[in-house]
Structure formats: structure tokens, C-alpha cells
Structure 1
Amino acid sequence: MNDPSLRDVADWWATAVSRVEPDRIELRGRPVQDLIGTISFTDAIWLMLRGDTPTPGRRRLLEAALVSSVDHGPHAPSIAVARMAATCGIGLNNAVATGVNLLGDVHGGAGEQCMRMLAEIAAGADAAEVVDRWRATSRYLPGFGHRFHTVDPRRDPLLTLVEQAVTDGVVQGDYLRAAQAVERILAVGRRRPVPINIDGCTAVVYGELGFAPPLARGLFVLSRSVGILAHAWEETGQGRRNKGPIPPSILPTHLGDDPCTGEDSTPT
């Protein structure tokens, strides 16, 4: 086997995302000095992921989706754990990373899952059949319903923007119509409907904008990182040390079973 050449090493990290050389920084072929002060952060996200910059209508949709997912309070595990981490003597970056690392299939992944489901319907599959198939795998339909909100307050503003974008010819509306079809199916026979939630709304936006489903989760991570950072920073100023999930005055319920025998070991 021949020793690797300089070309082999260079090709190992071949990329079209950026070009960094002495006195040169390019992002997707565009000199960074031409971008600074001339494009928004939302434009930069689009540029890095897609290779160009969005039209004004598409920029507006992407920015709205990013803003909508920034925070959902300490009830969100990613926020809570970042706040706890911030009191443990680690850096702010570690606290943010701790929160981001909780964004998985259950917390933070519903947007990607919903996008895959809506893509089936947008491609022509029967909405009722798709819903039945997804329901057969989980009691929760990704992107619909919410444990706190009867109607997610972020739903109407986002979907209204998508509807306007469809009217203006910015997007096609296939994902929007798919989501509306699922809402109608879920409302049948119910006194209280099961409306689309923030994960479903952003799935509609990202689908309409042509992003791949895994990027729905990646974009959610970017958005929620802002809230995680804000909460972690706030916590560092509150003076707590080693903050746990509940106040020290509240003790966890003791189940009492001996882990070895399975028998109740609680003193009588």
C-alpha cells in the first residue's frame, strides 16, 4: 500500500461549505468580508445549508420558524438540565451543550418525524392511511397535540405566514395542506380537536422550504440553543450551587422495594 500523498490528505477533508486559507475565508464561495453587515444570520444559515441566499419570502418563513422554537421554559428538559448544569462549576458552553444533548427522538425530534409523515401525504398518499400507520407505532402522533396548550399559541401566526406565502407563490403549499388534512382527521368524533403544535408547524415550514427531514431537527437545535443559552446565563446569576431537579426541602418518593429481593424494605 502506497503512503498517502498530500492530495490524499487534502481530499480527506474536501468540502464545499467553506474555504479557509491564509488571508482568505469564503463561505459557500462568497468572501466573508462581503457577507458581514450585508446578510442576516438567517441568510447565513440558509447559505451554509443550501449554498445560496433565500428570497425575501423564504427568509421570512425560515426566520419565523426559528424564532418560534427559541424557548419553552424550564418545563422543557433541555432548558432545565442546562440550568442545573450551570450551577455545577462548568463553563457556559458546557451548560449549553448539556441542554442540546437532550434533544433526541422524544424531546426535540417530533419535527423531523412529523415532516416525514407529512411528506408521505404531500407526495399523494392517503392521509387517513398514513395517520393510521403512524398511530400504530406510537400513542403520540408527531407534531400534533400538546401537554400544556389546548391550541399552541405559535400555531396560527406560523400557519398564517405559510398561507400567505402560498398565496404569494413563495411556496407550493403541499405540506400545509397535508397538515390541515391530518388536523381534520384528528378532529373527527372529538369535542376538543387535536391541533398541530410547534413541531408540526415548523415541519410545515421546513418542508415547504425544501429542507430535508433531518434538518428539521438540526434547525430546531439551532433555535432552541438560544433559549438554552439565555436560561443557563440567567441561572449563573442567581447564586445557586449544585441545583437539583427539585428543592432540597422536597424529598423524592421512596418506592420501598429492595432492588435485590423485590420485597418491601421500608421500616414499619
Structure 2
Amino acid sequence: MTLQYPTSLGTSDAEHIFLLGQDVAGDLMGEVGFGELAFWLITRRRPTPGEARLFEAVLIGLADHGFTPTAIAARLTYLSAPDAVQGALAAGLLGGGSRFLGVTEDTGRYLADVLADAPDLPKDDAAWDELARAAVARSKAAGKFVPGLGHPVHKERDPRTPRLIEIAHEEQLYGPHLALFEAIGRVHPDVLGKTLPLNGAGVSGAALADLGLPQELLRAAVLLARCAGLIGHIAEEITRPVANSIYLTVDRNARYVPPEVGA
């Protein structure tokens, strides 16, 4: 019996490399953008120009956000092992969890769950607001956060959110996940008693869900974007290093405290 391992991704022979059924050199190189290819690999279908534009806008919005823990981890790992850039990148990507980077997936799943439980899609803003209000109230009663609300830096308005919504409208890709997300933005102050901005990670999750990305791969798309940002941090660390200063600041200000009795 001959063993077979089926794949619809990449294969090669002595003269060709094939990817997604296309000749890499003849059909893809110089003809397809990297963001378009990434979408194609994730969804197994080639995006329309509008889909590629929205997807790439999401990637750009998530590529970097300054000295976040993931960026600091990458820089410090590069300081320790400059001979293994893959380790620095991996260190930064491994920090993509519930507090940083994972919000995109959490929001996409949250919105999808609310929509799945709705008997019908709302027809107007009032109906969307009713659906959103009920969802936020359930989360509050359960003592759970509503993903996509709030940001540690952008307290009033995350500039990425209106721009992605604008692009989705321009490309006629504004779907139910984005509509529900905007409705949450409108109604949550009445339910939670405070006003929080719709953050860029959350709107990215809504946009990616409307584009049809599988829920299981929403965070993967964020990691793809952040990988580019981390490479930028490492490139800057090579020419303008700060990691050693970060390390020394912590190390020289460490203060020993005795362990608590019984801890």
C-alpha cells in the first residue's frame, strides 16, 4: 500500500513549485500581493480586490503598537540570543494571548455566538441595538467582559475602528459582525454605566469574521500582522538598541523582599 498525504497547498517537482494549484514562479510571483496570498492560504479561495484591501488594512492596523510586552519580549530575547532571530520572533508571538493580540479572536467568537443565537438578522439599527443590548446585559450578569471594548492608550477613540468600518462600507463588505459590533458601541454605556471605545483589535475580529475567516484562525491572522511588526522591532534593536537598558533598569532596581509566611 502506498502512503499518501493529501494537500491543497504546496508541492514541487524538478522544474516547478506549485502553491494553491498555481505555478509559483509563473503565476504568483510579481502578480499576487503577500496579503492576497495570505488570505488565499487561510480561506482556500482567492480574495476579490475589495476583500484583499480590507484584509490588508486589518493587517496594517495590527502590525505594531509600540513597546508592548510582545515587542519587549522579542527585543530582550534578541539581546540574549542575537544568533537566533527565530527565537526573538517566537518569543514575541508567544505572548499573543487574551490580553494582547487575542482580543481579535475573542471578539470574532463573541459576535458569532450572539449572531448564531439570534432567530433572524436585524433589519435596522434599532433591532441591532436591541440584540446588542441583550448580549451586553448577559455578559454583565455573568461577570464577563465584552471583548473589543476599551483600550489602555486610546481612551476616547481608537483611530483604527472608524477607518476599518469605512473601508468595509467602501468595498461593500460591511456584514453582520461589524453591524453588531457597532451596535455594542452604541448601547453598552446604558448597560455598563460607562463609555468605552471600540478598539482596533475588536473591529479587526469583526471585519475578519465578515470576510469569512474561520474562528480558529482569527488570532493567526493577528500573529501574521504582528510578525512584521516584531521584525521591525528587531531591525531597530540592531541599529538603535534599547533592550539592554530595559534589562538593566529592571535588574538594578530589583529589591529583595522576604517571602510571606505560609505563602
TM-score band, normalised by the shorter chain?
Answer: 0.7 to 0.9
- Structure 1 residue aligned with 2:165: 159
Query: Corresponding residue for 1:78?
Result: 70
Tell me the distance in 2 between the aligned counterparts of 1:231 and 1:240.
Answer: 10
Q: Are 2:105 and 1:112 aligned?
A: yes
- SS class of match (2:223): helix
CA offsets 1:173-226 (integer angstroms, 9 cap, x no match): 211111012112212277862121011110121011011112210000000111
- Within 5 Å, give how 1:247-262 maps onto structure 2: 247=249, 251-254=253-256, 256-259=257-260, 261-262=261-262
Larger radius of gyration: 1
Contact 2:133 2:184 (8 Å CA) reproduced: yes
Q: CA deviation at 1:87?
A: 1.0
SS at match of 1:26: strand
Aligned length: 248
**Is the CA contact (8 Å cut-off) linking 1:86 and 1:92 kept in structure 2?**
yes
When normalised by structure 2's length, the TM-score is: 0.84
**Corresponding residue number in structure 2 for 1:200:** 202
Q: CA offset at residue 108 of structure 1?
A: 1.5
Q: In the superposition, relative to structure 1, how do residues 200 and 258 fare at CA in structure 2: closer, same or farther (>3 Å)?
A: closer
Contact 2:75/2:243, CA 8 A, preserved across alignment: no
Deviates more, 1:86-95 or 1:32-41: 86-95
Cα deviation code 1:141-178 (max 9, x no counterpart): 21111111121121111111122333xxxx35211111
Partner of 1:52: 45
CA distance in structure 2 between the partners assigned to 1:24 and 1:136 by the alignment: 58
Matched residues in 2 for 1:146 and 1:161: separation? Answer: 22
Q: Shift in Å at residue 250 of structure 1?
A: 5.1
Alpha-carbon offset, residue 132 of structure 1: 3.3
- Runs of at least 5 residues in structure 1 that lack an aligned partner in the other structure: 264-268
Q: Structure 1 CA distance, aligned partners of 2:148 and 2:8?
A: 33
Superposed, 1:25-104 pairs within 5 Å as: 25-33=17-25, 34-74=27-67, 76-90=68-82, 91-104=84-97
- In the alignment, the residues of structure 2 paired with residue 137 and residue 191 of structure 1 have an alpha-carbon distance, to the nearest angstrom, of 16
Name the CA distance, whole Å, in 2 between partners of 1:21 and 1:96.
31
Pick which of 14-23 and 77-86 moved more: 14-23
Equivalence for 1:266: none
Distance in 1, matches of 2:24 and 2:223, equals 24
Work out whether residues 70 and 96 of structure 2, in 8 Å CA contact, stay in contact via their aligned partners in 1.
Answer: yes
State the one-letter code of the partner of 2:145: Y
Is 1:130 aligned to 2:130, yes or no? Answer: no
| Identity between Structure 1 and Structure 2 (%) | 27
Residue in 1 that maps onto 2:148: 143
How far apart, in 1, do the equivalents of 2:233 and 2:143 lie? 32
Would the alpha carbon gap of residues 152 and 71 (structure 1) be closer, same or farther in structure 2, given more than 3 Å must change? Answer: same
Q: What is the CA RMSD across the aligned residues, in angstroms?
A: 2.4
Q: Distance in 2 between matches of 1:105 and 1:29?
A: 36
Query: Which segments of 5 or more consecutive residues in structure 2 lack a partner in the other structure?
Result: 119-130
Distance 1:262 1:190, change over 3 A: closer
TM-score (norm 1): 0.83
Q: Which whole-Å CA distance do the structure 2 matches of 1:195 and 1:248 have between them?
A: 32
Q: Which protein is richer in helix relative to its size? A: 2
Q: Any idea what SS the aligned residue of 1:149 has?
A: coil
SS of the equivalent of 2:249 reads coil
